């Protein structure tokens, strides 16, 4: 199901109205269909809202530009987070949704983290799979009680545990209810990621 909004996206209505809607944010090279199966698995019955990133890197969709691996264009992070917050507001009105919980992987986890810090009203919580710190000087945000799960891979050569540590500290300082897990994994997702995400989204 699709309605014409600012981002190309997929939408699946809720089968279980008790579950909060899920905002699915893909990694580099993914698209609006990439995480639908994951969303159905970890939050069965939830409404699924899955936009496509609007930046292309060598033909691969992303949610913001980067200068190199691990070096983000922070001005673009800020601009794209504002665009995505606008899309969420559009989609909530178009589809009659409550504030969603973000489920982001890699680049999608990074833009979800930026949303939490720059537009905290846009999300009801987040599950960040293989995130990195998106902003070197994040603004003060009021995330009092907002649940955030971050899952890192101990052998991840891209989103290293050290690269996420400042984000964990910033989210905690902003009042979020943070849980950070590090799995014996690389950058790819494992069954343990799905288990942790499912537990977090079950409330």
Reported as a single tens digit per residue, the pLDDT across 89-140 is: 999 999 999 999 999 999 999 999 999 999 999 999 999 999 999 999 998 8
Decide if 3 is inside a domain: no
If one counts every other C-beta atom within 10 angstroms of the C-beta of residue 6, the result is 14
Catalytic residue among 31, 73, 163, 187: 187
Catalytic residue among 9, 34, 50, 156: 156
Known active-site residue 16: no
Catalytic residue among 7, 50, 106, 180: 106
Helix (H, G, I), strand (E, B) or coil at 41: helix
Of 136, 137, 116, 133, nearest to 125 by C-alpha is 116
Known active-site residue 156: yes
Please say if the pLDDT value at position 2 is more than 70. Answer: no
Q: pTM score, two decimals?
A: 0.96
Known active-site residue 106: yes
Residues 6+ apart with CB under 8 A from 85: 115, 118, 119, 122
Per residue in 143-156, pLDDT (tens digit) is 999 999 999 999 99
Provide the CATH number for the domain around residue 195. 3.40.50.1820
Decide if 2 is inside a domain: no
Q: Per the structure, how many domains does the chain have? A: 1
Domain coverage including residue 117: 9-201
Beta carbons of 66 and 57 less than 8 angstroms apart = yes
């Amino acid at each position: 199901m699709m309605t014409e909004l600012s981002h190309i996206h997929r939408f699946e209505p809720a089968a279980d109205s008790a579950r909060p809607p899920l905002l699915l944010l893909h990694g580099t090279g993914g698209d609006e269909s990439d995480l639908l199966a994951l969303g159905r698995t970890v939050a069965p019955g939830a409404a699924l809202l899955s936009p496509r990133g609007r930046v292309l890197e060598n033909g691969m969709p992303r949610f913001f530009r980067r200068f190199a691996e691990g070096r983000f264009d922070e001005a673009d992070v800020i601009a794209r987070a504002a665009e995505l917050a606008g899309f969420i507001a559009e989609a909530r009105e178009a589809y009659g949704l409550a504030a969603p919980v973000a489920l982001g992987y890699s680049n999608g986890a990074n833009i979800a983290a930026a949303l939490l810090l720059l537009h905290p009203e846009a999300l009801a919580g987040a599950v960040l799979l293989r995130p990195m710190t998106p902003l070197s000087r994040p603004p003060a945000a009021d995330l009092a009680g907002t649940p955030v799960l971050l899952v890192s891979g101990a052998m991840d050569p891209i989103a290293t545990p050290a690269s996420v540590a400042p984000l964990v500290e910033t989210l905690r300082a902003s009042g979020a209810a943070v849980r950070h897990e590090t799995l014996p994994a690389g950058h790819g997702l494992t069954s343990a990621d799905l288990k942790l995400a499912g537990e977090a989204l079950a409330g």
